[in-house]
Amino acid sequence: MAVLSTSKKLLLLLTIVLLALASISHGSLPLTEIKVGGEFGWKYGVNYTEWAMNTAPFYVGDSLGFYYKNSSLGNFTIYHNVHLLRDFEHFLNCDFSDSYEVADSSQGEGGFEFILSELRPYFFACDAGEGFHCRNGPMKLLVMPILRSWIPFVPCKPDNSTDLV
Ligand SMILES: *[C@@H]1O[C@H](CO)[C@@H](O)[C@H](O)[C@H]1NC(C)=O
Ligand SMILES: *[C@@H]1O[C@H](CO)[C@@H](O)[C@H](O)[C@H]1NC(C)=O
Ligand SMILES: *[C@@H]1O[C@H](CO)[C@@H](O)[C@H](O)[C@H]1NC(C)=O
Ligand SMILES: *[C@@H]1O[C@H](CO)[C@@H](O)[C@H](O)[C@H]1NC(C)=O
């Protein structure tokens, strides 16, 4: 069995901590819609790691909107889609084995909505060009939603929620 890389260990640890906390907190969550990539949408040439860092935190219950459409380059059609990759290692390597297509090339025009319904990391990527978009775009996005009730830990508007007393 391969030794886990440091980053993978960290991710596992983070996941465990989050899962432990999940059992403590409950509450109904207001839904927030977040447009992936902001004004750029889901396209080649945007650094989604940077976008995610600037946009975080993401919360369980938030929905991500993926907006994309086909374009042409000479005789070629350039298209995009949204896959969910299996784990962090597959994400790092743009490995689409065991990946799951959540939205195909025709679903981005009106915006494809994906709800972050679970407390777990989500690994998104575009598999167009046999992974070229993922490797070189780099059209890949890692999102780790946290719980709404963590708000007091984030410098944000305080409220009178009672489940943290
Ligand atoms: C994307 O942004 C992150 C964070 O700033 C950086 O570490 C990474 O090298 C960037 N990736 C590319 C392909 O520019
Ligand atoms: C594009 O398509 C046209 C018509 O089929 C063809 O004549 C041309 O060689 C193609 N161009 C390239 C770069 O493949
Ligand atoms: C985009 O291109 C793909 C692959 O060529 C095609 O299947 C899809 O229907 C196209 N989508 C739109 C909205 O034209
Ligand atoms: C929070 O609760 C306190 C005491 O119950 C109350 O005085 C205060 O107005 C509340 N603040 C808000 C923003 O609701």
Q: Tell me which of 27-36, 48-57, 67-76, 111-120 is least confident.
A: 27-36
Stated as kind and residue range, the H or E segment containing 112 is strand 112-115
Q: H helices of the chain, where?
A: 6-22, 48-55, 88-93, 132-136
Ligand 3 site, residue 106, Cβ cutoff 6 A:
yes
Burial of 2 (0-12, 13-18, 19+ CB in 10 A): exposed
Residues 6+ apart with CB under 8 A from 76: none
Ligand nearest to the CA of 110: 3
Q: How many CB atoms lie within 10 A of CB 159?
A: 9
For residue 106, the model assigns a pLDDT of 95
Token couple for 100: 């799951």
Taking the domains of the chain in order of start, what are their residue ranges?
33-150
Q: What is the pLDDT of residues 102-157, one digit of tens each?
A: 999 999 999 999 999 999 999 999 999 999 999 999 999 999 999 987 555 555 56
The CA distance from 33 to 74, in Å, is: 35
Burial of 143 (0-12, 13-18, 19+ CB in 10 A): buried
Ligand 2 site, residue 76, Cβ cutoff 6 A:
no
Ligand 3 site, residue 105, Cβ cutoff 6 A:
yes
Q: What is the pLDDT of residues 63-114, one digit of tens each?
A: 999 999 998 888 888 999 999 999 999 999 999 999 999 999 999 999 999 9
The CA distance from 142 to 56, in Å, is: 11
Lateral strand order in the sheet of 100-103: 100-103, 82-84, 122-125, 140-143
Ligand nearest to the CA of 75: 2
Ligand 1 site, residue 54, Cβ cutoff 6 A:
no
The CA distance from 38 to 149, in Å, is: 25
Token couple for 47: 């650094």
CATH of 33-150, one of 3.20.20.70, 2.60.40.420, 1.10.357.10, 3.40.50.720: 2.60.40.420
For residue 25, the model assigns a pLDDT of 45
